Amino acid sequence: MDLMAMMGKMKETQQKIEDTKKRLNTVFIDEQSIDGLFKVSISANNAIKNVTIDDALLEDKEQLEDYIVTVINKAIEKAMKENQTQLDEVTKLDLPMIPGMDDMFK
């Protein structure tokens, strides 16, 4: 592959990455506490879309705080994995293998 073709392919891949990042704003991960009293919906780009709190949790501030931290952290972890998986699919399919270039598009 000549240099110009490779540069064109890299530019095309960069555009696909940007398109994927935009699309990930519409991919949602739903997470909830074990008992279902606290729920969160987060985009694969880590933007919280919705939070649902059962009235029973409003009586115990400490428990509610624990639920918020635990459930949101789980949702963020899943969103980050989904984000990385989708971006990896784009870069692995399109980019020529050049040592040291893997991190350039992340």
Ordered strands of the 48-53 beta sheet: 28-32, 38-43, 48-53
Closest CA to 40 of 49, 70, 59: 49
Q: Residue 69: what pLDDT?
A: 96
For 29-84, the pLDDT digits (tens) are 999 999 999 999 999 999 999 999 999 999 999 999 999 999 999 999 999 999 99
- Which of helix, strand or coil describes residue 87? helix
Domains parsed from the chain with CATH numbers: 19-98 (3.30.1310.10)
Beta bridge mates, 4:
none
H or E element, residue 40 = strand 38-43
